[in-house]
Structure 1
Amino acid sequence: MWFDQSWLDLTFLHWPVRPDDVAHLYPPGIRPDVFDGMTYVGLIPFRMGYTKVGAGPALPYFGAFAETNVRLYSVDDAGRHGVLFRSLETARLAVVPAIRFTMGVPYTWARMRIARSEDVIGYDSVRRWPRRGLCSRVAVRIGERVEPTPLEIWLTARWGAHTRKAGRTWWVPNEHDPWRLHAAHLVELDDELIGAADVRLAGEPLRVLYSPGTRTRFGRPIVVAAGSVSQ
């Protein structure tokens, strides 16, 4: 076990994307993962409850913060399915260089707020660095518990992440408990992060989902491929 986290108050927003439109964004050794011929981009705002490294205690500053990530879906030649992050907003400035340097994950610094009133939860983010001023505002009304479709399971039950660091492509394995998912109604969406990630949408959004959260555990990174980036 490398480290574990709790992810809380997640909202899942997804749109279809043509694989050929985003293939150039993937580093060597991985490619767009597809479901019935399409891949997807996710906009996922949530709250990090805690982070623990090994058997140590929760990290009080680094481990708890708001986050909004833009992610694509990836697979490597060994058949390992994961996500490829295009950006991860966080309000914790110190997290940004630490995670960028150690894991190659594109964390960014933002002013963020999560607010809940009864069954409505809202997520606000304004980028501080880099590309200052990029905004994302999402608000949803949380509905009844639902059983996920096969596509929704494929999108949310991801067992790793692919990243690029030190001239190599890596796969970081993880495992998590089953999601408790609720249907959610989109109250407000004003987002600039997907466009800034150079992702072109190919259709209408999927059903919005909300989860109160789960615990996830990460293993040590595994090298997938070395060589120059193909972008």
Structure 2
Amino acid sequence: MPSRHPEHRVPVAINVQHWRNLTFLHWPIEAARLQALIPPALVVDTFEGTAWVSITPFRMQYFGAPEGAFALVPDFTEVNVRTYVHGVDGHDGVWFFSLECSRLPVTVLLRQLGLPYQRSTTDQRERGGAVQYTSRRRAGHGWFGAEVEAGERIEHPSPLENFLTGRWNGYGRTRGRIWRTPIEHEPWPLHTARARCDPAALFAANALPHPHTSPVVHFSPLVHVRIGMPRPV
């Protein structure tokens, strides 16, 4: 299980977030196809030779000042499209193709930090033991929908599950440079899950090849996240 190893700690947080009802939807993708879509300062990470793309919807229950002092915006649903990378700085992390978000202040602020936030109408609802996510971009195509049912708690994650969830940095590009933002949170409380979803439009909106397999699915009910200061790579 990913843990709070000292190298993953964020001593001084500039932002605190609480991620509720987060689902990992993972598809295997040929690494060379992804490498052409990311900056040359980053290298696509693989597990046993296979790269992965994830759509990760969740409820941002808190987005605000450290120590829970005050929220900057009301809670909202976010839907991320991402892959896993190594940077020339020796760290591994996440490269985002898009982050769909319904809160304009969050979209504007984090685009300034090099993260490709897209203004979207997003929602999450709990019905009959399932979590339903929807997202639709305000401009252009990019609709996404999923219904997820969580299963049993995973007590001992496999090497693949650790690879797909144990990431502690986010990379972005702004002002002509790549920046790395460190992230800290408690170990994921991972659950098995099954999902019905339609990723095609969101993959196409990010110039990603259409997935031809069912996703590998995991669910996490809640983690508390500390975001550190971005650093140039």
2:204/2:210 contact within 8 Å kept? no
* Structure 1 residues 104 and 190, CA gap change in structure 2 (3 angstroms): closer
In the alignment, what sits opposite 2:38?
Answer: 26
Segment of structure 1 superposing worse, 141-150 or 212-221: 141-150
The Cα of 1:161 is off from its aligned counterpart by: 0.7
In 2, Cα distance between the equivalents of 1:145 and 1:47? Answer: 20
In the alignment, what sits opposite 2:192?
Answer: 183
The Cα of 1:204 is off from its aligned counterpart by: 2.5
In the alignment, what sits opposite 1:227?
Answer: none
Counterpart of 2:111, as a letter, is R
The Cα of 1:55 is off from its aligned counterpart by: 5.2
In 1, Cα distance between the equivalents of 2:228 and 2:197? Answer: 36
1:6 and 2:15 matched: no
Which residue of the other structure, out of 83, 90, 105, is the alignment partner of 1:72? Answer: 83
In the alignment, what sits opposite 2:228?
Answer: 219
The Cα of 1:24 is off from its aligned counterpart by: 1.8
Number of residue equivalences: 220
List structure 1 runs of 4+ shifted beyond 4 angstroms. Answer: none
Render the CA deviation track for 1:100-123: whole Å, top value 9, x for unaligned.
Answer: 12x110101111221102321100
Render the CA deviation track for 1:110-137: whole Å, top value 9, x for unaligned.
Answer: 11221102321100111103x2x42100
1:198 and 2:210 matched: no
Segment of structure 1 superposing worse, 36-45 or 203-212: 203-212
In the alignment, what sits opposite 2:163?
Answer: 154
TM superposition score normalised by structure 1: 0.88
* Structure 1 residues 201 and 116, CA gap change in structure 2 (3 angstroms): same
In 2, Cα distance between the equivalents of 1:136 and 1:203? Answer: 16
In the alignment, what sits opposite 1:137?
Answer: 145
Which residue of the other structure, out of 112, 121, 138, is the alignment partner of 1:111? Answer: 121
TM superposition score normalised by structure 2: 0.88
1:15/1:201 contact within 8 Å kept? no
Question: Aligned with 2:70: secondary structure?
Answer: coil
The Cα of 1:80 is off from its aligned counterpart by: 0.5
Structure 2 unaligned blocks of 5 or more: 1-11
In 2, Cα distance between the equivalents of 1:94 and 1:138? Answer: 26
In 2, Cα distance between the equivalents of 1:214 and 1:87? Answer: 21
1:137/1:191 contact within 8 Å kept? no
Render the CA deviation track for 1:60-102: whole Å, top value 9, x for unaligned.
Answer: 41x621100100111112320110000111111222222112x
Question: Aligned with 2:49: secondary structure?
Answer: coil
In the alignment, what sits opposite 2:5?
Answer: none
Render the CA deviation track for 1:157-216: whole Å, top value 9, x for unaligned.
Answer: 101011101000111111111111111111343541122211225763443111101011
In 1, Cα distance between the equivalents of 2:24 and 2:216? Answer: 9
In 1, Cα distance between the equivalents of 2:15 and 2:158? Answer: 30
Structure 1 unaligned blocks of 5 or more: 225-231
